Structure 1
Amino acid sequence: MSAARPRSTRLIVALDTKDPAQAVAWREATAASAGAVKLGLEFTYAQGLDAVRDVAGTRPLFLDLKLHDIPNTVASAIGSLARLRPAMLTIHAAGGRAMIAAARRAIDESFPSGERPLLLAVTVLTSLDATALHETGVESDVADQVVRLGRLAMSAGADGLVCSSHEIRLLRDALGDDPVLVVPGIRPAGSAAGDQKRIMTPAQARDAGADWIVVGRPITRAADPAAQAAAIAAELSA
Structure 2
Amino acid sequence: MKPVIIALDFENRHQTEQFLTLFDAAPKKPVIKVGMELFYREGPAFVRDLAAQGYAIFLDLKLMDIPHTVEMAMQQLAQLGIAYTTIHANGGSAMIQAAKKGLTTGAAKAGLPTPKLLAVTELTSITPAMLKDELHVDLPMQAEVVALAELAQQNGADGVICSPQEVPALQQHLPQDFLFVTPGIRPVGAAKDDQARVATPAEAAQLGSSAIVVGRPITLSQTPFATYQQIRKEFNAHD
Amino acid at match of 1:106: G
List gaps (5 residues or longer) in structure 1: 1-7
Q: Distance in 2 between matches of 1:97 and 1:133?
A: 21
For residues 140-169 of structure 1, give each alpha carbon's deviation from its aligned partner in whole angstroms, at most 9, with x where no partner exists: 121111000000000000011110111011
Per the alignment, residue 101 of structure 2 pairs with 105
Is the 2:181–2:209 Cα contact (8 Å) retained in structure 1?
yes
How do residues 150-165 of structure 1 correspond to structure 2 at under 5 angstroms? Answer: 150-165=149-164
1:48 and 2:46 correspond = no
* Separation (CA, whole Å) in 2 of partners of 1:9 and 1:68: 28
Counterpart mapping for 1:124-143 below 5 A: 124-134=122-132, 135-143=134-142
CA distance in 1, matches of 2:165, 2:120: 14
Deviations 1:204-235 (A, max 9, x none): 10111111100000000001111110111111
Amino acid at match of 1:10: P
Among 82, 85, 89, the alignment partner of 1:86 is 82
Residue pair 1:11, 1:34 contacting (<8 A) in 2 also:
no
Distance 2:9 2:149 in 1: 26
5+ residue gaps, structure 2:
none
Structure-1 separation of matches of 2:30 and 2:208? 17
Count of residues in Structure 1 that have an aligned counterpart in Structure 2: 231
- 1:139-150 pair list within 5 angstroms: 139-150=138-149
* Per-residue deviation, residues 77-120 of structure 1 (Å, max 9, x unmatched): 11121331110000110000000001111112111375110010
Change (3 A) 1:147 1:34: farther
Report the more deviating stretch, 105-114 or 34-43.
105-114
Higher mean displacement: 56-65 or 25-34: 25-34
Whether the 8 Å CA contact 1:10–1:212 is kept in 2: the answer is: yes
Structure 1 30/232 Cα, relative in aligned 2: closer, same or farther at 3 Å?
farther
Q: C-alpha distance in 1, partners of 2:29/2:3?
A: 7
Secondary structure of the residue that 2:21 maps to in structure 1? helix
Contact 1:168 1:181 in 2 (8 A): yes
1:175 aligns with 174
* Deviation >4 Å, runs of 4+: none
- Per-residue CA deviation, residues 16-37 of structure 1 (Å, 9 max, x unaligned), is 0112122123233246276410
Q: Distance in 1 between matches of 2:116 and 2:21?
A: 24
Identity of aligned residues (%): 42
TM-score in terms of structure 1 length: 0.92
* Map of 1:206 onto structure 2: 205
Query: Structure 2 vs 1, CA of residues 193 and 41 (structure 1 numbering), >3 Å: closer, same or farther?
Result: same
What residue in structure 1 maps to residue 117 of structure 2? 119
Aligned equivalent of 2:5: 12
Q: Greater relative contact order (Cα 8 A, min sep 6): structure 1 or 2?
A: 1
Q: For 1:53-77, what per-residue CA distance to the aligned partner results, in whole angstroms no more than 9, with x for missing partners?
A: 2245320000000000000000011
How large is the RMSD of aligned CA atoms in angstroms?
1.5
**Match runs of 1:174-193 below 5 Å:** 174-193=173-192
Distance 1:92 1:152 in 2: 11
Q: Residue 34 and residue 198 in structure 1: after superposition, are their counterparts in 2 closer, same or farther (change >3 A)?
A: farther
Q: Aligned to 1:125, what secondary structure does the other structure show?
A: coil
1:21 to 14, 17, 34: 14
In terms of mean alpha carbon deviation, does 168-177 or 148-157 score higher?
168-177
